[in-house]
Amino acid sequence: MEMNKQGDINYGRVAEAIRYIQQDFKTQPTLEEIAAKVHMSPYHFQRLFTDWVGVSPKKFLQYISLQYAKRMLSNGEPTLFDIAEQTGFSGTGRLHDLFVKIEGMTPGEYKNQGESLIIHYSYFHSLFGQVLIASTSKGICYMGFVDDNNDVFSELFQRFPKANFIEKMDELQQNALKIYRQDWNDLRQIKLHLKGTDFQLKVWEALLKIPMGNRITYGAIAKEIEKPKASRAVGTAIGSNPIAFLIPCHRVIQTTGSLGGYRWGTIRKTAMLGWETAQNDILDL
């Protein structure tokens, strides 16, 4: 009974803190100010809030502020200075840094949503089914397996809603296909154009280090990027991987040894891992 009562008290404090942050984010309250609002020390409040919400009070405040700034950008607010001022930031530098850190792009890039960007895309047959590969002048920006042509293209479009899409095969796409043809010596020619947050990019970079045929757990990836308690966030970043097979998220499994999920289907994931193991066995002969 006592534990239930304490739980109710803790929930009430967290709920009050969330309301305070949502209502007063424009003042950019400090940890000390938020903790005082719920009559707790900053240290104990930080731990309580993080345990209940999953992110620190500072992170939560950043997300709320960023959502407001994004709405202003979408509504065509004239200048970054106006947006920064109305969001409670001391200058445009903090707003810029927040966009880059959380959204993986500058405020201008967010507002443009890929405008003036030319993306070539083509459908190809691979060992594991039809695949859509898209590229910019910088490199491969998307690779997804096709179960429904409209669905996979919609996912690409949502990533770059204002880009100019041209159905055209190019050299970048052809280089990417080499991974399915076992031309692994030429994989250095494959260039990627990734758009993601700092955290996502770190996770995807860690995935690129997994040798073919090997398997690794979400927890091991979290340790690799020096975030040992972030296994759940790692899983979310892996699920957001926009480039199938080239960034080998299929090589990540659960601690129990279970294969876990895969955005392009667990059957395809099983086939990929089995094929890679077979290729390693052949190379060892």
* Catalytic residue ranges: 249
Q: Closest Cα partner for 22 from 40, 1, 37?
A: 37
Scan for tokens 């050299």, then name that residue.
171
Distance CA 268, CA 34 (A): 48
Phi, psi dihedrals of residue 143, rounded to the nearest 5°: -145, 115
Phi, psi dihedrals of residue 125, rounded to the nearest 5°: -95, 135
Q: Closest Cα partner for 231 from 212, 208, 203?
A: 203
CA distances from 226 to 220, 222, 239 (A): 10, 6, 19
Q: Residue 260, by phi and psi: left (phi above 0), alpha (psi -120 to 50) or beta?
A: left
Scan for tokens 């066995």, then name that residue.
281
CA distances from 116 to 112, 211, 221 (A): 8, 37, 36
- 280 CB neighbour count, 10 Å cutoff: 13
Structure tokens at 14: 């967290």
Cβ atoms 29, 21 nearer than 8 A: yes
Scan for tokens 């601690």, then name that residue.
255
Distance of CA 56 to the CA centre of its chain: 19
Distance CA 186, CA 168 (A): 22
Q: Please, is 19 exposed, middle or buried when counting C-beta atoms within 10 Å of its C-beta (0-12, 13-18, 19+)?
A: exposed
